[in-house]
Amino acid sequence: MCSVPPRIINLVVLAILAGVITGCGGSAGTLPASPISSPAAASAMNPAAPAPGSAAPGGSAGTTSPAPQPTPSPTSASAAGTTISNIEQMSGWESCDTCSGGGPIAYSLTPSLNYPQAGTTRFSLAQGAAWAHALWWKRLGNDANPSHFVLSLDQYLENPGASFGIEYDVNQIVGGEWYDFAIQCSFGYGIWQVWDDANQRWVPTSAPCARQAASSHVQLRLEFERSNGQAHFVSIGTNGAIVPLNMAFNPQPINGASGDFGVHIQLNANGNPDPYSVWVHNFALTYW
C-alpha cells in the first residue's frame, strides 16, 4: 500500500461524505447494482493515478495467439507525438485493493515473463471478497502541454470467464482539474463503459464488449483527448476495428501538480470470486 499525504486523506473523507465513492456490495450469489468500482477512490490515494478485451460490433471476441510484435524502444518521439513503450515492464508500479472501492483480495504483478510472449507482465487476482478489485497504477511524468492520448496494448486471458471486467485509464492534472480517461470492458454487462468524473459515475457506451475467447489475445487501442475543458473519449479499437465514441465529460477539481500524468489497470472479480490473470504486452502511451 502506498503512503497517503494528509491532503489526500481529506479528499477521501470529502468523497465519502459526498457519497461519490462507489463500493462493491452483495454476496457470491447476488449481483450488486454496480459491482465495478469508481476511479475516484484510487485518485484520492494518489492524484497521479486514477481515482478490456472485447469484440468490435459484429466482430470476434478474441483471436488466438497472433505473432508477437517486436518490442519498441522505451521512449520515442515522432511526428505523431511521443510514445512511452513497455510500460508493463517498468519498475515503480503502485497497487492496492480496497482503495478502489471493493473488498480485500489477494493480488500480484509478475514482470518479465516469456509467456505467452517475451517481455510480458502478468496481473493476477487470487482469493478474496466477492466483487473485489485490484488496481495498479504508474506515474509517467509531468507535462501539461499534451492534450491527446492513445493507449495501446496486447491483452491475453486464459480464463476470461472468471473476470467481471477489466479497466484501463490515462489521467492528467491540468490547472487544478483532474482529467480521468477511465474506460472498462464490462464483461458482466457486455458493454464498454466510460467514466464521468464530474458526476462520479460509469456511463454505458454503444460499443459492445463481449467476453474474449479463452487463451486468446486481443489488441486494444484506446484514444482520448482533453478538449474544450472536457475529457473527451474519442474511440475504442479492438483487433484493428475502430468504434467512435465521441463522449465528453467535465473534469473534477483536485489538488496536485499540474501536468502530472499516468496510467492504470484494474482487474474486477466476479461474485465467487474466481482467480484469474491478465497478461499484458506492448503497453504503450502515445501523446501530443
Report DSSP state, residue 91: S
Q: Give the SS3 label for residue 43.
A: helix
Counts for the chain of helices (H) and strands (E), in that order: 2, 17
Is the Cβ–Cβ distance between 165 and 265 less than 8 Å?
no
Looking up cell 487501442 gives 221
pLDDT along the chain (288 residues), means of 10: 36 33 29 42 42 27 33 48 97 96 96 97 97 97 97 98 97 97 96 96 96 97 98 97 97 95 97 96 98
- Round to whole Å and give the CA distance between 126 and 208: 27
249 and 196 Cβ atoms separated by less than 8 Å: yes
Q: Do 93 and 135 meet the contact criterion of CB atoms below 8 Å apart?
A: no
Question: pTM of the full predicted structure?
Answer: 0.77
Report all structural domains of the chain as residue ranges with CATH numbers, in order of start: 6-287 (2.60.120.200)
Whether the Cβ atoms of residue 127 and residue 160 lie closer than 8 Å to each other: no
